[in-house]
Amino acid sequence: MNYWLLKTEPSTFSWDDLVKDKKAVWDGVRNFQARNNLKAMKKGDFAFIYHSMDDKAVIGIAEITREHYPDPKDQDWVAIDIKPVKKLKSPVTLTTVKKDKRLSNMVLVKNSRLSVQPVKSEEFDLVIGLSE
């Protein structure tokens, strides 16, 4: 199993929207590195849902339910399907992640602008720990 982080602007699509809809097509990614990360995802992998913009925090965990396929809005790119798993007990802010030396090599710290990021297993566990 692999772990990921998916960034979204909550005004466009939030954790609450995912919970309400019970599933989502994760599309609209237009960055080659992020696209390659989408292509690497496997059904059953978990992904943090990260609210960008004002919140700048990990909010919840989603599961990949369908591996990459052509983006319905642009066939040159790819999409995946996800479903909500659980909301974190407390959001874990970017500031909190940056302050924790154990997470200093996390992609979120090194390249916070990347919209689809890999997360190491130990980083995933640490972020969950920070939320509790």
Domains within the chain, CATH numbers bracketed: 3-131 (3.10.590.10)
Please state, in angstroms and rounded to a whole number, the distance separating the CA atoms of residues 26 and 71: 9
Minimal CA–CA distance to 88: which of 48, 131, 127, 45? 131
The two tokens of residue 6 are 């998916």
Average confidence (pLDDT) over 124-132:
97
Q: Are 3 and 45 in contact (CB under 8 A)?
A: yes
Q: What is the value of pTM for the model shown? A: 0.95
Q: What is the pLDDT of residue 112?
A: 84
pLDDT range class, residue 9, cuts 50, 70, 90 = very high
pLDDT range class, residue 123, cuts 50, 70, 90 = very high
Q: What is the pLDDT of residues 83-119, one digit of tens each?
A: 999 999 999 999 999 999 999 999 999 998 899 999 9
Q: What is the layout of strands, in order, in the sheet containing 116-119?
A: 24-26, 74-93, 57-71, 46-51, 3-8, 116-119
Q: What is the pLDDT of residues 20-72, one digit of tens each?
A: 999 999 999 999 999 999 999 999 999 999 999 889 999 999 999 999 999 99
Question: Chain-centre distance of CA 35, in angstroms?
Answer: 13
Please state, in angstroms and rounded to a whole number, the distance separating the CA atoms of residues 46 and 24: 14
Q: What is the pLDDT of residue 54?
A: 85
